[in-house]
Structure 1
Amino acid sequence: MKTTTLTKLGGILAASALALTACGASNSGGEPAGGGDETKAGDRDWSDCKPGDGSKDVAGTSDDNKDVSLGIFNGWDESYATIYLLKNVLEDDGYKVKTDELDAGPMFTGVAQGDIDFFTDGWLPLTHANYIEQFGDDLVDHGCWYDNAKLTIAVNEDSPAKTIGDLKDMGDEYNNTLYGIEAGAGLTKTTKEEAIPEYGLDNLDYKISSTPAMLAQLKKSTDADENVAVTLWRPHWAYDAFPVRDLKDPKGAMGDAERIYSFSGKDAADQHPYVSQLLQNLVLDDDHLASLENLMFSEDHYNGKDHEKAVAEWLKDNPDFVDTWKKGELAK
C-alpha cells in the first residue's frame, strides 16, 4: 500500500522536530538571519555563485514523469513568487503540479527524503547553513537565482541621509525614530546589536513592533511626503510599492548579502531534467522580484489571495520572460 501524502508529511514534521531544535533557524517572513561573515556550509563556499550559471536552452530536454511536487516556505514571499512562476510554466507544458507549504526544517527533511521534489528558497551561506550541514549529502542544488538577499536600513528616496551613519547627525530629519519589525527577527537583533552601536545611533528611538506595522508606517510617511527610516530586507515588495532606497553600510554592520538557491532530492533531479534545467536558468533581479511580489502580496493588488492570477498578470506584463527563461538567457 502506498503511503498517503498526509502520512508522509506527518512523518516529515516528526522527523524534522529535532532538526528545528538543533538548528535554531529562524527567519521572519523571508528576511535573512543576519550577522556573521561565514561563507561556508559543509565543504563548499556558497557565496561563490552567480545567478544563471549553468543556463542552457531547455529545447530538446523533456521529463517522462510529468507529476511534480514543489515546496513553498510558509510566509516567505519570494518562495511563493518563484514556485508559482514555475507552476505556471510547468502546467502550460502539461505537468500536474502539487504544492506543499512547510517551514524550513520540514522542507529540507522532506526533499532530502524524496517526499517533495523541488524548492526554491535555500538561503546561503548563513540562514540555512545548519540544514545543509545535516541534509546536504541528500540534496542536489540547481544554482542560485538571486544574489542580493540582505538586511537593510531604508529611507524614502528623496530624503537627505545617504549612509546609515548619517542618521546620527540627521536624526531630526527622521523624527529621531527608526521603525523596526518583530522582536525575534534576525533583522531586529542585527540592527540592535550591530548597526546601532557601530554607527552610534543611540539618539534614535528604535521602535520594535511588527512587519505590518513597519510597512504601514512606511506607507503613511511616503504618502505624506515625510522622511522615514525603517529596517527592511531584500528581497521585499516594499521596494516596488514605495519610493524607498537603502542606506549605504560602509562598516558592513548589517552583514553580507546571501544567495538564494533551488534544491531537489537526488531522485527528483534524475527524474526531472527539464524542471532541473528550468531552475538552473532562473534569474530574478531586484526589479523583477519586487514587482512580482508587490503584485502578489500588497494590499493595493492581490494581497496574497490569488497567486495564480497574480503571476498570470505579471507574466502578461512581462511577455518575454518565459521565452527568455526557457532559452537560458535571463542572466544576459
Structure 2
Amino acid sequence: MTGNKIFYSVAAAMAALSLSVSPLVAQSLPGEGTTVRMGQPTWDTEWFQAQIYKKAMEALGYTVNEPTALDNPPFYQALAQGDMDFWASGWFPLHNTYLEEIEGKGSTVGYVAKGGALQGYLIDKKTAEEHNIGKIEDFKNPEIAKLFDSNGDGKADLVACPPGWGCELTITHQMEAYGLGDTVAPITASYSASMADAVSRYEEGKPIFFYTWTPNWTVGMLKPGEDVVWLEVETPSLPEDQKEMESQTAIPDVTGCASNPCQMGWPANDIQVVANNEFLEKNPAAKKLLEEMSIPIEDIFAQNAQMYEGADKPADLERQADEWIKANQEKFDGWIDAAKAAAQ
C-alpha cells in the first residue's frame, strides 16, 4: 500500500511537471537560438532607432549583438557577403547606388520614416538677410564666398560629409555642377566636430555655411527660420543614379525657406531597413517585424536634441529606447504579435 502511494505520488508529480512545462514549450519565441548581426551608421543621429529595432528583435527571442558602426560602403559590402544581417539606416534615393552592389543579396524592408528625411544647405539668417543670399549659386561670387572663409584661403568653408557617406558623393557632384570649385571648400572631416565648430562660430556672431539632413540635432540647435535659412538651387542637379529624382526636389512647406515649394536640390528621402535576403528567408518573424516597424520623425528629433545636450552615452541611448517603447507599448506589442503570427 505504501509502495502504491509512492508510485501514485511520483506519477502525479510527473504529470504536474508535464503540465507546467507544456505551456512554456508552446510559448517558445521564433528567434530563440538565432544570433542577429546588426549594423548602424557611423553618424550617431540614427543610433536611437537602432536601439529600438534591437530591442524589438530581442522581444522575439533573437540574440542581437551590439550594433556594429559602419560607413555606407563597408555595410553594404558586408551585407552582400553575408557578414551582416540588417540595419535600419538605408536612405533612398541617396543610397540608390548601393542597391546595385547588393542586387540579389539584399533588399529594402518597410519604412523607418517615409519621406520625412530632408537634406540641403543652410547659412545663418543674419548673413543671408544682410547680403541677400538665397541660392547656392550665389556662392560663385567671390565676395560672398569670403564672408564664410575662416582660414584665409578665400573660399567659403562648407561643413560637408566625410568620405564614404552617400551625401559626400552628391555634394561633390553639386559643387562641380554649380561651378563652385573655385569659391567653396567642403570640410570632409568628422561631421559632428565640424558642426560643433560651426555652432561655436554662430554663437560668436560669425557667418556659417553647412549641409545637414533631418532628423538631426543641428536643426534643433540652429532653428530654420530663426537662426538659419535653407538655400535653394536654380536648377536641380543630382548624380546619375538619382537623376530621375530631380523632379522631386521641390519640397512644400519647408520652414526656413524663402519659397514654397522650396527648390532644395535634394529629394526627400525614405529611411528604410536594408536586410540580407537569406536572413529574411530563414526568419519570417524578423521579416514581418521589419515590415511593421516605423518611428515618427518628430520622436527622432526629440531624442537627437537630448543627445546634443549630453545624453549620448550607450546607457542613455538604451534608456531613451526603453522610454520610447514604454510610451508606445501598444504599438510595440502589436509589432511583436504580428511577427509571432508570421512564424506560425
Shorter chain as denominator, the TM-score bin is: 0.5 to 0.7
Q: Which runs of 5+ in 2 are unaligned?
A: 1-26, 150-155, 238-264, 336-344
Structure 1 residue 119: deviation in Å? 2.0
Instruction: Give me the whole-angstrom Cα distance separating, in 1, the residues matched to 2:333 and 2:202.
Output: 38
Over 3 Å counting, the alpha-carbon distance change for 1:100 and 1:223 in structure 2 is same
Q: Which runs of 5+ in 1 are unaligned?
A: 1-60
Instruction: Give me the whole-angstrom Cα distance separating, in 1, the residues matched to 2:63 and 2:137.
Output: 52
Larger radius of gyration: 2
Structure 1 residue 189: deviation in Å? 5.9
TM-score (norm 2): 0.58
Corresponding residue of 2:233: 249
Given candidates 30, 33, 39, the residue that maps to 1:64 is 30
Corresponding residue of 1:208: 187
Alignment of 1:170-319 (within 5 A): 171=144, 175=148, 177-181=156-160, 184=163, 187=167, 190-191=170-171, 193-195=173-175, 198=178, 206=185, 208=187, 210=189, 211-224=191-204, 226-244=206-224, 245-253=229-237, 254-296=265-307, 298=308, 300-303=309-312, 305-306=313-314, 308-313=315-320, 316=323
* Partner SS state of residue 292, structure 1: helix
Corresponding residue of 1:88: 55
Over 3 Å counting, the alpha-carbon distance change for 1:100 and 1:201 in structure 2 is closer
Given candidates 136, 143, 146, the residue that maps to 1:164 is 136
TM-score (norm 1): 0.60
Does the CA-based 8 Å contact 1:139-1:263 persist in structure 2? yes
Instruction: Give me the whole-angstrom Cα distance separating, in 1, the residues matched to 2:82 and 2:47.
Output: 21
Structure 1 residue 69: deviation in Å? 1.0
Given candidates 137, 140, 143, the residue that maps to 2:110 is 143
* Partner SS state of residue 136, structure 1: coil
1:243 partner letter? K
Compare relative contact order (CA 8 Å, sep 6+) and give the higher one, 1 or 2: 1
Alignment of 1:88-127 (within 5 A): 88-91=55-58, 95-101=62-68, 102-112=70-80, 114-127=82-95
Instruction: Give me the whole-angstrom Cα distance separating, in 2, the residues matched to 1:69 and 1:205.
Output: 43
Structure 1 residue 226: deviation in Å? 4.8
Corresponding residue pairs, total: 262
Structure 1 residue 84: deviation in Å? 1.1
Instruction: Give me the whole-angstrom Cα distance separating, in 2, the residues matched to 1:127 and 1:116.
Output: 17
Instruction: Give me the whole-angstrom Cα distance separating, in 2, the residues matched to 1:107 and 1:202.
Output: 30
Structure 1 residue 212: deviation in Å? 4.1
Does the CA-based 8 Å contact 1:179-1:214 persist in structure 2? no
Over 3 Å counting, the alpha-carbon distance change for 1:201 and 1:109 in structure 2 is closer
* Partner SS state of residue 64, structure 1: coil
Identity %: 17
Instruction: Give me the whole-angstrom Cα distance separating, in 2, the residues matched to 1:215 and 1:107.
Output: 24
Structure 1 residue 237: deviation in Å? 2.7
Structure 1 residue 220: deviation in Å? 1.1
The answer to which structure has the higher helix fraction is: 2
